[in-house]
Structure formats: C-alpha cells, structure tokens
C-alpha cells in the first residue's frame, strides 16, 4: 500500500480535554476519534458507540456547549475543548431533571442510546429552536432508539421543557 | 411501606445506572494489558481463500497477531462441538475452520493489536486472494428450488393441514388470491456485538459477551476450546438491545476467546455496524395466500404457502404459516412451509420470528377477503372468531381477544370508518384506517432461581437470565419484594452471569412467564424457611402456623389471626444466629399446560396519511389492545408494546436489507441506508392492556410481551393504506415508490 | 483507516503549504464525511490539514447586497443565522432538512458541498466502483440502483450528489470562492460540481490543493416564494431520493417573473435547466404550467431499473414544490 511510507512513525502529540469539568492531558495519535479517546483512553464508557459513522447518535456529547457525534471528530481536533458527557450531567448523586424525567417516563429500555439521547436533548434545550413536539421530534431524530422508546423520550423532554406533549403518555 | 408491587407502575430499577452512563456493556470492561481485535470479512460469497498474506500487518509495531484458518489453534472436527441452544439443524458455521468461504462477509481473519486504531489499520493491510465460484443469492428467481421443510429447530412445528381446502376454494362465493413478499431484515440492536475476554490471574477466563444467554455462550466456548465450567465465566449484566441477534453465540465471541487463549492477553473484539449485517437476519419470505369466504363473510377455506430462505449449511425454520390455521374458525386449511437454500448466512430469530412475517401476510389477505365480501374487517374477524385453538383443537388457557377488539375499536373510533377506499382527503394526504389481529405464543420454560436473605433484611434473588431492555431486573425485583413483603429498595435481582442458577435464553417472550414463577417459588420457599425458624424459637407464637396464616409485610412476620404475634426478619435471624438464609428452587411448566392452546393476543387499529401524489406514508395514529394475562408492571409493559408497535411501523415502512445479486452481499449495510424508525416517525400510539385471567399458563398468570407488540402492526398499516388509497401493496416495505402507481 | 499525521493550519497560506508537504494530504473541516469514508477505507489520506481555524468562520453582508458564508461556519450556525433565515429561507430550509442536529453542528459550509456520494458500492471496497477505483467498473448500473441518478449519467457512473445545501445554493446562483497555490478564484455553483462522464472519481472542479474559503450568495430575490421539498424513505435523518429547491418571483397577477428550479438526488450534481425555467416566465403560476416545466426538466431522464420511479417522483415533486412556493406567502 502506497501510503505506508508516510506512516511508519506514529505522531503522538499531547492534547488536553476538559471533560465534565476535569482537565485531562493525554497522548493520542491523530487517528483516535473523540469517542474512542473518551471510551478507551479516559475510560468514560458512558458515551456509546453504536455505528461509528454518525448514523445513530449514541455517541452524542456536548463540545463547547454544542451537541455533536463524538465518533465523527478526532480527539486532536478538539484539543482544549470543554466536553460534557453523560457522566457529567448529575450533580454528585443528584440527577439532572432530564435524567429523572427519563426514569419517570420510562424513556429507555436497553439503555444503550440513553446517554446520547440525554446529551442530545440537553443540546436541544440549549439551542432553543424547538417550541413544539413536532420540532422536538425532528431535532431529536439524530438519536436512534432501536427499542423505540421515542414516545417516552418525548414525554420526558417535553416535561422538562414545558412543551405540550400530545404524543400520548403514561 | 408500599405493598402490592406486582401490577404497579414501578420505575425501572436499573434506571439510575442507565441514565448516568454507569451500566456497563460488553465492550466496556477494562483489563490489564487489554488488546484489541478487528475482524477482516470476506469480500466474496463463495469459494476458497487461495492466499492470505498478513505480513504487512504483522510488520507494524504493536500488531500482536493475525489469526486465520492458516494459524488457528487446534479446533474440534465435529459439528456437535459448535452447537448452541438456538441452532437450526445442519452444520454450524465454524470460524477459521478452513479456507472455504460459505457466505459474503464471512469473518476470515482477526487482527490483534495494542490499540483499536492500529488493529483497524492493520486489518486493511491483509492481502487476500480468493478463488471465487458461482453462487446463488437470488431468492426471487430460484423459488422452484424450494423444498418442504421436514425438520426444524426447537420450537418449530410442521404446519398441519385439515379438510380439503382446494375444494373449498373452488366452490366459494368470494375468493382472494395474492402473493406477499417480505424482505430480509437485520436486528441492528444499537449496541454493536462485542466480547471482552479477560484472562484472570488464575488462568481462568471472564468473558463479557453481548448475548441473550450466558449459559449458551459458556457452553459454546467450553465445547470448542475443551474447557470446564470453572475455567470460563460468561457475564452479560447489561445488553444494549438484541431482538434475537444475541440468541446464538456470534463470531466475535469465538474470535476474542481464541485470541485471548493463544496470546494469554485479555482481548476485546467489537464488530463494526457493517459487520452487524454479516450474521443472522429475518429471512426473505414469499407467501402465497388463497382465502375463501361465503357471501356473508364466513371463512370457508385457507391456503397459505410460504417459501423462506435458509443457508446452504443450516435449515433455519420459523412458524410462518401455522398462525393461519389457528387464528380463525375455518374447516378447510392447507398449509405449507418450504425452504430455499442460498449462499448466504443462516437466518436468525428476530423479534416475533415467523409471526411478524406470517401474520402480516395472512391478516392483510383477511382484509382483502373481508373487503371483497363487503363485510367490515372487524366484523369479519368476529364472525370467524375461534373459540378454541384450531390447529390442535384445544381450549385456550385464556383468550380475551374479543375484549381487545371491542375496547380498541371503541377508543380508535372504528365505527366512523368509511368502507369505500380513497374517500377521505386532508390537504395533500389521503386518510385511511385499517386493523389487524396479533397473536404470539405464551410459553413457560424450566428455570432455576436462588434467594439469599441477610439479617439486615436485604434480599438477593438471582437467576442467570438476561435483561435486553425488557425490564427483567425490575419485574423480578417486584415479584420478590411483594412475595416476601420487603421494600423493593431492599431487594436486588442478579442476572446475566453463568455462575448463577440456570435459565434458558431470553427469547420467545417467555422470560417473565418462566423466570417470574421461579422467583415466586424461591421466595415462597424462603417464607417457609423463615416460618420454620420462627416456629423454632422458644415460646414462639408461630409454632404450628401454616405459611398462608402468616403475613409477610414490612420485613416482618405476623400472624394473620393474631397481629400481636409478630417478629422482624432481622430479629428472627439474629435470635436464630443465622448469617444468611438461602433457598434455591426450579420451576417448570405444569403438565396440564399441554391440554391448552396458550397465546397472547392483540387488536391493532391504525390510521395512515398517504400523500396522494408523492406516496409517502405516515402512521398518524395507532391504538393497540393487548391481552397478555397478568401485567406485572404497566409502565415497562407499555414500553415493551410501544417498542413493538414502532418495530411494526419500521418494518412496514422502512426496513429492508438488500441482497446484491452480483456480490451475494447485503449492500445497504449501515444505518444511513438500512432505515429504522426515528423519532419523527412516531406519532400517537395508545397501548391498552385488557384484563385477562389465566391460571393455566403459570402460577403468576403472566404471558410475556416481547413479541406481541410488532405482530399485526404491518398488516394493519397495509390495510389502512388500502383504505386510504385503494391500493393493495403486497411487498414490504411500503416505500413511496410503490405508491406512485 | 490509515495511520495519519495531522496539522492545524493558522491561515489559508499555511493550509496550502501544509497540504503541499505530502502528496497524500487532505483538508479536514467538520470531518463528518471524510472520517466516515476513512473508517471504511474508501479515502486514505496520509496527512490531514485542519482548516477550521483559518479565518473563515464568518457570515457577512456584501456591498452588493449579497451574503458571504464563511467556509468553516457550521451548517447549523448558517441555517439559523438571522440574515439567512430572513433573506435566504430556501437555503435555511434545505440545510435544516439535512442530516441530524448533531451533524449540522459539525458539518461546515465548505465541507457540505464537498460531500461524496452515498452510493452503496462507492462505500464498499469489496465491490467495483469507478469513482473509488477508476477503471474497476460500475456496480450500480446493473446492481441495486434505487438511490441513483436519472439525469446526466455516464456509462461509468450513475452516482448522485447527496447534499441538500448544494441544491439550494444552485437554485440561488451561489458562487464558491476558493484559494490555491496560484491564488484565488471564484467558481459558480453551476461549474463547481461536474457530471461523471469518464472521470467519475472527480466530483467537482476544485483542485486537490485548493481550499474553499467562502460561498457568495447574490442579493436575495427569492425570500417570498420558495420551497425545499425533500422526499426520502423516512421523515428525518435520511438522504433525499429526490429533492426540489423551487423559487419564484411573481407579479400581482400571479404570473411568473423569475423562476429557479434545482433538483437533488437525481444527478451527479444539483440539476438545473434554464430552458425549463424560461418556459414559465410570463405565464400564470399554475399546476399545468409547472407540469410543463417539469416535463421539460425531465425530458432526458433515464432510469436504471430500481430508480425508474424517480422520474415520475421528480415530476410530481417539481409541481408540488412550485405550488408550495406560490402558496408560501400565505403562511408568512
């Protein structure tokens, strides 16, 4: 393969990521995605890998306040960034109101998409673009829930955002 | 404290961990010196590997080994060593066994390296030369090669015909003949299949596997690698969905284990999303239906023939046509189920296997027949209502389907339906309504459970079952807490560990109905033991008391007849000097069950909006009423059914794994092109549970809900599309192109 | 994915210079498509030059009344930008119909129009694909081609360009501003993407070492009557089977003064046909006239089997989008 001649010496720069308020300094090769840096290097496995291609939303985290797919960016591109993952949503043992609403509305089954759903919904709230249930649904469609707890996810989000939810509830 | 946990809308007990990202899945366990395996998949469908050159990969610093058929460790010869609990008859796929390629995307090598990225890179450097041979992956153009399925996997029943359907069809007033197609579908649980094999200090292995049955994975590894139970432990406390994909040990388990054993290093192997399309799928199926009725809507003849794909090496079977024989009262029924061998991987049970496929076609054809006879489809079903199970002529253990029809129809407003298609327009959309019946088996399996009570009143109940998102942790905790009268906070339920008491695979909607009774039984046994201890105390007021005379509440034992006689569990255990009180039982189905037909039923009503010009379909409203015996937890139960309904919507409108005939490869193998329902697909869905008592199916009267939610939904959608547009679509999924004309 | 090295450029010249250091360099901005393709080994750069911080993270009004969109502004920030929403609502609508909120927060304007096709065969290195591997053949022509092109195809490639944004940009006559080793140049959207012909490996006319710096929108003229209609297999988070960016200017009698119709999902580039638009000028904005324009737009369309439906779908979609554009004002 022709590319090999460039690649035999790995470049391993040091980067810093502030994750959930805590600064981490780590050495990563450029080919490490932010998602793998979180999961494999920082052992923050709350953020999930569901497709590794930006097609499911399980890896959603907040980077400098905005929700993105952690699988579709390189850790090195986020050097110096502030990152919030699901592990950073609670205050100690106290759940974020959205986490509690997810439990109350049974907004998950297997739980694998849940961290991404939560981070995505918090990003959604911060964006302030969703005013109706239909808008919540469109703007949450980047998070696949294969167990299909969508109605309950919407109930939880609408409750926390104070949006009328006509999607049927418990 | 609260009492009456059974039947209460208790929040999921694993919810706190799940919303905090603390529930750990198979790929999330750490180990000293963990290394990473990446699978290389074959790029041809059939043939042989001529050469597999790993030298470039091995030359990279940090690449530990490349495993393939060329250097694999010694493996057993016989098929029986590769068997598993969900295996169809045949010769199971044996990874790395030889240079033979049996299907496209067959795993042919595992690259193990110090980091995931390095292993992934090295995997691209493996040079493989194949000798490809002709293959057949063309299901629709080789239907004539189908043969009658003779033997099947466990749970499969050869379809039984009765009477003379051909004659009945010939002389009927109203006849419908139609062919339906169901594409291949993939489970696509959100968690990628993964195994982390940890080599422990004592050279035993702890395996974290994505599986619906820890014992299945354990036994598989023991058989292949010649190990004892003590040498290999399998754990799966959390599973990120499975829907059947975890019923058989998948190849990442084999590979991670082989690598760990050979390298004496802990290894993690995670499949890519693309590789999630390389094993097990719901089979492509064609179904030919001929149904006949009298002019008044009495069903007089049913002919249902199905042809389903299987692989060259295993005969995967599912109950596709049997439902057509059991659902309605009809004297003449002709059923046939054939298999067609293709050069692809063996299909695999996927949520409501067979039922989702067969009931779809049958209930769509019933609608065609009812409409042709000019009878309201709901009325038609009532006219042909089966008071006993029709295939075996057995009484039902319970069947509240009539109540389902009535309640759901009323909630939905079925009475306002316009029987003439294409009449209702709202802007660009045509509106239509449709309904269908859903059915699934209610089964109980043998299960063992164990309970341990400590003096502080903490109860630990355990069973090696699974919770793939079904709510097993929660409902079992409820049963245990209620039975022993403990606050649910003091109860823990352990599962997903091969060191725990034996349970079958989690599947078939039988977990609540099988593990539930075991948990009930083991807690009842513990009650007996507690009472015996209490009676043994000096001057005990419990002497001679029977267990039904004692109330277990708030961590206390109390004589019902004399409430002044009471004793806390803590005090009792202290006085008897008990460090722990333990009990283990097995529960199994009562033999009398065989004299009954045991089923869960549902009635599904659907409203669709179809863009009259552009063809896109929206399922705007669903009302589903389910009769599933006792509901242990209405909150988690509703979620199960909601999930099933959305699966039905997804199956009806979006899901299709496309087999490319040039390559024999599923070509839309990612989540961008294999569409599953997203949030915006979901509108108003109402789930109703109809009261149903059943003292036959198991001591709890619970039937299970994993599958019933999906069954009936695609048919109801199909029928609603007809009502909206006058078009009968007979090939899933109902994408907009099929409605353009 | 290959082993890569990485550098972060500080300005355009720096980026171009970094790029020139190896012959296997690639610019990376949002990365949402490049990393996707690198993970499946379709794109194999050896070095990535990060161009997120080279000074093109602005949206500013031009002296001529137009708007300049910095190449590294995210799709979300662009689509929600007040000026874009008010004056270029067609663009905002198209951009918000694309991908997911998360991807729109990452994907940049420059990167969006650089997206590569979603053709299954292009993505799967075990199959033949002339775009991925020139000369290997096209698997789509005789394969599963439901998503493929019906216009402007060649015997070598029937892939479609997947972007929604590019379709709106094409309808709005945007201009792509680029900079390379030999200086700056401007490429009209029309000439930016190309047809596959016998070189399907080339998606567009940008040279490998050129950087997109901004996209210029001419002064707004379609803020009243516009519609971006996207038809797809699910209502959100899916690529278009067919999309239509329709924009009209009408006089008081509802006669067409100006029309712009661009199609997505049907060709290797956003598709426009000036003759079809000209057909509408001076005519009443009626469904019958729209159908005439649609027929002309699709007069050379050709299906390949699974995608035959796209011809009729596109025809109907054009009419619907134009009707929606006419009626849009009522909802304002």
Question: Which tokens is C286 given?
Answer: 């009626």
* Residues B554 and B1 sit within 8 Å (Cβ to Cβ): yes
Tell me the pLDDT tens digit for each residue of A121-155.
999 999 999 999 999 999 999 999 999 999 999 99
The ranges assigned to domains in chain C are 5-52, 225-331
How many domains would you assign to chain B? 3
- Optimal mutation site among B56, B62, B130, B673, interface C, most CBs of chain C within 10 A: B673
Q: Which residues make beta-bridge pairs with B688?
A: B625
Q: Cα separation of B243 and B349, whole Å? A: 8
DSSP state letters, A121-150: HHHHHHHT---SHHHHHHHTTTS--TT--H
Task: Please state, in angstroms and rounded to a whole number, the distance separating the CA atoms of residues B438 and B327.
Answer: 9
- Inter-chain residue contact B56 with A168, CB threshold 8 Å: no
| CA of A80 vs chain B CAs: smallest distance (Å) | 22
Q: What is the pLDDT of residue A165?
A: 86
> For A1, which of B16, B125, B670 is closest by C-beta distance?
B125
**For domain A11-88, which architecture applies?**
Roll (3.10)
Note the pLDDT of residue C45. 97
Q: Do B124 and C316 touch (CB under 8 A)?
A: no
For residues A18-31, give the mean pLDDT.
Answer: 97
Residue B624 structure tokens = 């589903």
Q: Which residue of A has its CA nearest to B620?
A: A167
Sheet-wide strand order for C225-231: C225-231, C242-250, C256-264
Question: Is residue B515 domain-shared with residue B571, that is, in the same domain?
Answer: yes
Cβ neighbours of residue B446 closer than 8 Å, sequence gap 6 or more = B504, B514, B586, B587, B588, B589
pLDDT (tens, 9 = 90+) of chain C, 332 residues, equals: 999 999 999 999 999 999 999 889 999 999 999 999 999 999 999 999 999 999 999 999 999 999 999 999 999 999 999 999 999 999 999 999 999 999 999 999 999 999 999 999 999 999 999 999 999 999 999 999 999 999 999 999 999 999 999 999 999 999 999 999 999 999 999 999 999 999 999 999 999 999 999 999 999 999 999 999 999 999 999 999 999 999 999 999 999 999 999 999 999 999 999 999 999 999 999 999 999 999 999 999 999 999 999 999 999 999 999 999 999 854 44
**What subunits make at least 3 CB pairs under 8 angstroms with C?**
A, B
Is B2 within a domain? no
At residue A170, the pLDDT reads 43
Q: Cβ distance B126 to B57 under 8 Å?
A: yes
Residue C197: per-residue pLDDT: 98
Tokens standing for A53? Answer: 């291609």
Same domain membership, residue B480 and residue B575: yes
Query: In this complex, do B663 and C320 lie within 8 Å of one another by their Cβ atoms?
Result: no
B297 and B409 share one domain: yes
**Given CB atoms, is B284 within the 8 Å cutoff of chain A?**
no
Sheet holding B684-689, edge to edge: B424-426, B429-441, B599-611, B617-627, B684-689
Query: Which residues of B belong to the active site?
Result: 707
Is B315 part of any domain?
Answer: yes
Does residue B233 sit in the same domain as residue B335? no
* Residue B476 structural domain: 15-21+445-588
- Domain residue ranges in chain A: 11-88, 97-161
pLDDT, tens digit (0-9, with 9 covering 90-100), for B158-195: 999 999 999 999 999 999 999 999 999 999 999 999 99
- The CATH number for C5-52, chosen from 3.40.720.10, 3.40.50.970, 3.30.43.10, 3.10.20.30, is 3.30.43.10
Query: Is B294 within 8 Å of chain C by CB?
Result: no
pLDDT tens across C272-299, in order?
A: 999 999 999 999 999 999 999 999 999 9
Domain at A97-161: CATH architecture: Orthogonal Bundle (1.10)
CA dist B687 and B638 (Å) reads: 6
* B588, B608, B628 - which closes a domain: B588
Domain containing residue B545: CATH number: 3.30.365.10
Residue B4 belongs to a domain: no
Instruction: From chain C, pick out residues whose CB is under 8 angstroms from the CB of B680.
Output: 234-237
A50 touches chain C (CB under 8 A): no
CATH classification of the domain holding B40 = 3.90.1170.50
| pLDDT given for residue A8 in this prediction | 57
CB of B410 closer than 8 Å to CB of B437: no
Q: Which of residues 676-695 of B touch C (CB under 8 A)?
A: 677-681
Of C2, C233, C320, the CB nearest to B121: C2
B174/B256 same-domain check: no
Structure tokens of A129? 């673009």
Asked if residues C241 and C313 have their Cβ atoms less than 8 Å apart, the reply is: yes
Instruction: Provide ipTM, 2 decimals.
Output: 0.97
As a whole number of angstroms, the distance between CA C193 and CA C270 comes to 8
B389 within domain boundaries: yes
Nearest chain C CA: its distance from A138 CA (Å): 6
Chains with ≥3 Cβ pairs under 8 A against B? A, C
C1:A129 CB<8 A: no
Residue numbers of C between 208 and 267 with CB closer than 8 Å to A:
235-237
In this structure, chain A runs to a length of 170
Partners of residue A133 in chain C, C-beta under 8 Å: none
User: Can the peptide bond before residue B73 be classed as cis, meaning omega within 30 degrees of 0?
Assistant: no
pLDDT of residue C328: 84
- Strand A82-84 and strand B174-182: the pairing is unpaired
Name which of A113, A148, A168 is nearest B684 (Cβ-Cβ). A168
Inter-residue contact B37 to B25 (CB < 8 Å) = no
Burial class (CB in 10 A: 0-12, 13-18, 19+), A159: middle
Q: What is the CATH number of domain C225-331?
A: 3.30.390.50
Q: Which residue ranges in chain B fall short of pLDDT 50?
A: 1-2
Task: Kindly list the residues from chain A whose CB atom is less than 8 angstroms away from the CB atom of residue C100.
Answer: 54, 57, 69, 141-143
**What pLDDT, on the 0 to 100 scale, is given for residue C329?**
58
- Assess contact for B704 and B600: CB atoms under 8 A: yes
CA–CA distance, C124 with B64 (Å, rounded to integer) = 27
Q: Is residue B3 part of a domain?
A: no
Q: What is the pLDDT of residue A5?
A: 42
- Decide: B694 and B627 in contact? Cβ < 8 Å: no
pLDDT band at residue A11 under the 50/70/90 scheme: confident
Q: How far apart are CA C233 and CA B668, in angstroms?
A: 13
- CA distance to partner chain B, nearest, from residue C313 (Å): 7
What average pLDDT is seen over chain B?
97
């Amino acid at each position: 393969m022709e590319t090999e001649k460039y690649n035999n010496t790995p470049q391993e720069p040091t980067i810093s990521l502030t994750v959930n308020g805590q600064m981490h300094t780590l050495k990563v090769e450029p080919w490490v995605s932010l998602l793998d840096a979180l999961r494999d290097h920082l052992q923050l496995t709350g953020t999930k890998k569901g497709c590794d291609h930006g097609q499911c939303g399980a890896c959603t985290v907040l980077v400098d306040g905005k929700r993105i797919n952690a699988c579709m960016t390189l850790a090195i591109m986020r050097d110096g960034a502030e990152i919030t993952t699901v592990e950073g949503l609670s205050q100690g043992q106290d759940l974020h109101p959205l986490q509690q609403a997810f439990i109350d509305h049974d907004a998950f089954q297997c739980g694998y998409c849940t961290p991404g759903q939560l981070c995505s919904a918090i990003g959604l709230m911060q964006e302030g673009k969703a005013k109706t249930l239909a808008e919540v649904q469109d703007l949450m469609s980047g998070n696949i829930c294969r167990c299909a707890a969508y109605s309950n996810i919407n109930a939880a989000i609408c409750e926390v955002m104070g949006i009328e939810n006509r999607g049927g509830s418990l | 404290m609260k009492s009456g946990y059974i039947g209460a809308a208790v929040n999921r007990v694993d919810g706190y961990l799940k919303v905090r990202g603390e529930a750990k899945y198979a790929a999330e366990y750490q180990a000293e010196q963990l290394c990473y395996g990446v699978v290389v998949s074959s790029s041809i469908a059939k043939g042989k590997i001529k050469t597999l050159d790993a030298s470039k990969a091995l030359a990279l610093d940090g690449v530990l080994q490349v495993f393939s058929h060329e250097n694999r460790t010694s493996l057993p010869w016989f098929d029986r060593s590769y068997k598993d609990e969900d295996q169809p008859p045949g010769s199971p796929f044996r990874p790395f066994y030889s240079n033979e390629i049996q299907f496209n995307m067959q795993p042919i090598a595992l690259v193990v390296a110090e980091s995931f990225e390095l292993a992934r890179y090295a995997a691209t450097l493996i040079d493989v030369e194949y000798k490809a041979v002709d293959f057949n992956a063309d299901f629709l153009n080789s239907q004539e090669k189908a043969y009658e399925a003779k033997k099947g996997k466990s749970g499969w029943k050869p379809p039984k015909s009765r009477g003379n359907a051909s004659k009945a069809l010939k002389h009927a007033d109203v006849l419908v003949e139609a062919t339906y197609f169901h594409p291949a579908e993939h489970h696509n649980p959100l968690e990628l299949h993964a195994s982390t094999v940890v080599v422990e200090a004592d050279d035993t292995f702890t395996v974290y596997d994505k599986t619906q049955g820890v014992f299945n994975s354990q036994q598989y590894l023991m058989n292949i690698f010649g190990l004892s139970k003590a040498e290999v432990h399998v754990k799966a406390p959390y599973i990120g969905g499975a829907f059947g994909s975890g019923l058989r040990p998948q190849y990442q388990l084999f590979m991670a284990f082989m690598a760990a054993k050979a390298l004496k290093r802990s290894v993690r192997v995670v499949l890519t999303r693309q590789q999630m399309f390389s094993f097990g799928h719901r089979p492509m199926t064609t179904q030919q239906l001929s149904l006949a009725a009298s002019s008044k809507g009495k069903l007089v003849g049913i002919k249902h023939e199905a042809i389903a794909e299987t692989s060259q090496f295993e005969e995967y079977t599912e109950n596709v046509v049997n439902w057509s024989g059991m659902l309605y009262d009809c004297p003449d029924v002709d059923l046939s189920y054939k298999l067609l061998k293709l050069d692809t991987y063996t299909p695999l049970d996927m949520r409501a296997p067979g039922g989702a496929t067969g009931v779809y076609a049958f209930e769509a054809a019933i609608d065609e027949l009812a409409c042709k006879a000019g009878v309201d489809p709901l009325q038609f079903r009532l006219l042909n209502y089966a008071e006993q199970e029709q295939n075996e002529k057995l009484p039902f253990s319970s069947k509240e389907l009539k109540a389902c029809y009535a309640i759901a129809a009323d909630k939905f407003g079925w009475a306002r339906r316009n029987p003439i298609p294409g009449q209702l327009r709202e802007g660009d959309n045509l509106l239509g309504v449709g309904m269908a019946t859903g059915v699934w088996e209610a089964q109980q399996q043998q299960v063992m459970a164990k309970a341990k009570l400590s003096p502080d009143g903490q109860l630990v109940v355990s069973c090696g079952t699974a919770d793939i998102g079904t709510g097993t942790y929660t409902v079992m905790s409820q049963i245990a807490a209620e039975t022993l009268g403990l606050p649910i906070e003091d109860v823990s339920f352990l599962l997903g560990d091969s060191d725990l008491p034996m349970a079958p695979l989690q599947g078939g909607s039988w977990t609540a109905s099988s593990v539930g009774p075991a948990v009930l039984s083991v807690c009842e046994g513990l009650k007996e033991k507690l009472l015996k201890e209490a009676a043994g105390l000096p001057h005990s007021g419990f002497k001679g008391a029977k267990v039904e005379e004692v109330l277990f509440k708030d961590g206390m034992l109390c004589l019902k007849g004399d409430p002044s006689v009471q004793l806390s569990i803590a005090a009792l255990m202290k006085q008897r000097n008990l460090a722990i009180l333990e009990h283990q039982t097995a529960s199994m189905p009562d033999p009398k069950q065989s004299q009954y037909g045991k089923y869960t039923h549902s009635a599904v009503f659907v409203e669709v909006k179809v863009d009259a010009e552009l063809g896109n379909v929206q399922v705007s409203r669903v009302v589903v009423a389910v009769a599933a015996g006792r509901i242990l937890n209405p909150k988690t139960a509703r979620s199960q059914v909601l999930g099933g309904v959305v699966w039905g919507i997804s199956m009806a409108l979006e899901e299709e794994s496309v087999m490319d005939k040039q390559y024999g490869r599923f070509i839309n193998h990612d989540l961008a092109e294999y569409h599953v329902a997203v949030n915006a697909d979901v509108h108003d869905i109402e789930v109703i549970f109809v009261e149903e008592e059943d003292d036959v199916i198991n001591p709890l009267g619970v039937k299970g809900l994993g599958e019933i939610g999906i069954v009936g939904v695609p048919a109801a959608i199909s029928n609603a599309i007809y009502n909206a547009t006058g078009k009968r679509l007979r090939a899933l999924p109902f994408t907009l192109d099929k409605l353009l004309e | 994915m290959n082993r890569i090295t990485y550098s972060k450029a500080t300005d355009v010249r720096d980026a171009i210079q970094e790029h020139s250091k190896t012959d296997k360099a690639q610019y990376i901005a949002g990365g949402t498509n490049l990393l996707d393709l690198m993970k499946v080994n379709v794109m194999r750069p050896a070095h990535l030059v990060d161009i997120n911080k080279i000074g093109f993270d602005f949206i500013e009004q031009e002296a001529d009344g137009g708007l300049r969109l910095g190449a590294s502004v995210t799709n979300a920030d662009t689509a929600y930008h007040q000026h874009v929403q008010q004056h270029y609502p067609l663009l905002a609508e198209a951009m918000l119909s694309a991908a997911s909120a998360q991807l729109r927060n990452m994907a940049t304007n420059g990167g969006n129009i650089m997206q590569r096709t979603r053709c299954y065969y292009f993505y799967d290195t075990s199959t033949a694909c002339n775009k991925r591997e020139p000369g290997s053949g096209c698997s789509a022509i005789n394969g599963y081609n439901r998503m493929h092109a019906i216009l402007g195809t060649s015997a070598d490639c029937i892939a479609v360009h997947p972007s929604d944004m590019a379709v709106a940009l094409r309808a709005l006559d945007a201009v792509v501003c680029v900079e390379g080793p030999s200086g700056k140049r401007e490429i009209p959207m029309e000439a930016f993407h190309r047809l596959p012909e016998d070189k399907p490996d080339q998606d567009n006319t940008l040279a490998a070492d050129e950087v997109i710096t901004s996209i210029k929108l001419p002064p707004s003229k379609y803020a009243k009557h516009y519609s971006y209609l996207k038809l797809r297999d699910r209502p959100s988070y899916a690529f278009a089977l067919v999309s239509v960016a329709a924009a009209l200017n009408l006089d008081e009698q509802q006669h067409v003064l100006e029309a712009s119709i661009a199609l997505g999902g049907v060709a290797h580039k956003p598709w426009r046909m000036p003759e079809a638009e000209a057909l509408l000028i001076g005519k009443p904005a009626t469904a019958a006239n729209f159908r005439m324009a649609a027929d002309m737009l699709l007069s050379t369309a050709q299906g390949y089997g699974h995608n035959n439906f796209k011809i009729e779908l596109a025809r109907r979609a054009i009419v619907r989008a134009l009707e929606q554009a006419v009626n849009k004002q009522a909802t304002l």
